[in-house]
């Protein structure tokens, strides 16, 4: 599972990092991702394999990226993220509500 904060209200939850990568096209990953964690509280970042030269250059390649862990587990930071940025999707709200007690137990 990957929990992602974008430049839009609420959190987005993807069942796998690969699904997040497919869903977030490179220009969006470049400009919209503000935070990402897995369900254990491990933070992730976008690592560019081939970066777009300019988001305003329509003729440059879109780029490719992957998600990579960017530090040790930080369940407290993920708890804070979930509490401060509720999802607009009721199904996502339920999944995150179920995750909170597990995070508090390890945090």
Nearest to 32 by CA among 62, 13, 57, 9: 9
Amino acid 54: pLDDT: 56
Q: What is the pLDDT of residues 22-52, one digit of tens each?
A: 888 877 777 889 999 999 999 999 988 866 5
**The pLDDT of residue 97 is above 90:** yes
Q: Which of 31, 36, 13, 11 is nearest to 23 (CA)?
A: 13
Instruction: Give the model's pLDDT for residue 52.
Output: 56
Token digits of residue 86: 């509720």
Query: What integer pLDDT is reported at residue 68 of this predicted model?
Result: 95
In this prediction, residues 71-97 reach a mean pLDDT of 95
DSSP state of 95: H
From 5-9, 39-43, 50-54, 69-73, the region with the lowest mean pLDDT: 50-54
| DSSP label of 54 | -
């Amino acid at each position: 599972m990957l929990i992602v904060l974008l430049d839009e209200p609420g959190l987005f939850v993807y069942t796998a990092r690969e699904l997040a990568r497919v869903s977030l096209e490179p220009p969006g990953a470049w400009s919209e991702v503000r935070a990402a964690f897995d369900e254990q509280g491990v933070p992730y970042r976008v690592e560019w394999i081939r970066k777009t030269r300019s988001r305003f250059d329509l003729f440059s390649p879109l780029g490719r990226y992957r998600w990579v862990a960017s530090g040790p587990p930080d369940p407290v930071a993920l708890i804070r993220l979930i509490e401060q940025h509720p999802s607009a999707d009721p199904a996502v709200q339920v999944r995150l509500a179920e995750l909170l007690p597990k995070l508090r137990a390890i945090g």
